[in-house]
């Protein structure tokens, strides 16, 4: 008898005791859509939501940012990309945000 591989669903847990913020209703909706898009591996929607979370948009080329994030998610959906650890994927996503200066300029 072959043992069945146990696959667990990914979980996102935020623990930050050094930062508190109250999100507006609109921001809560956008943040929820952001995480839904991450779970569905919809890179375009992830990037669009990230850009919407910035009150004063400073991304010099939003379409390039959206395309870059989409391409990353497309890669992560391939067999090669599936080998990328989720933490490394998130790090790459945050690097794209920093590179395009769109969502949070103070992440550095």
Whether 2 maps to a domain, the answer reads: no
Q: CB neighbours of 44 closer than 8 A, spacing ≥ 6?
A: 66, 69, 70
Whether 93 maps to a domain, the answer reads: yes
- Cα–Cα distance, 28 to 2 (Å, whole number): 45
At 66-106, the pLDDT tens digits run: 999 999 999 988 999 888 888 888 888 888 877 776 444 44
The dihedral built from the CA positions of residue 7, 89, 44 and 47, taken in this order, carries a sign that is positive
Whether 12 maps to a domain, the answer reads: no
Whether 11 maps to a domain, the answer reads: no
Q: How confident is the model at residue 55 (pLDDT cuts 50, 70, 90)?
A: confident
Whether 32 maps to a domain, the answer reads: yes
Across 34-43, average pLDDT: 88
Please give the pLDDT value at position 18.
60
Q: Is the distance from CB of 97 to CB of 73 less than 8 angstroms?
A: no
Please give the pLDDT value at position 41.
85
Please give the pLDDT value at position 45.
95
- Cα–Cα distance, 89 to 1 (Å, whole number): 35
Residue 101 DSSP code: T
Which runs of E-coded beta strand occur in the chain? none
Query: Which domain range does residue 76 map to?
Result: 25-107
Across 13-31, average pLDDT: 77
Instruction: Tell me how many domains the chain contains.
Output: 1
Please give the pLDDT value at position 106.
46
């Amino acid at each position: 008898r072959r043992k069945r591989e146990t696959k667990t669903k990914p979980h996102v847990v935020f623990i930050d005791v050094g930062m508190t913020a109250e999100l507006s209703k609109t921001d809560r909706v956008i943040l929820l859509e952001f995480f839904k898009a991450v779970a569905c591996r919809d890179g375009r929607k992830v990037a669009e939501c990230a850009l919407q979370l910035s009150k004063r948009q400073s991304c010099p080329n939003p379409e390039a940012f959206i395309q870059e994030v989409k391409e990353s998610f497309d890669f992560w959906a391939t067999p090669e990309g599936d080998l990328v650890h989720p933490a490394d994927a998130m790090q790459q996503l945050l690097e794209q945000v920093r590179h395009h200066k769109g969502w949070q300029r103070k992440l550095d």
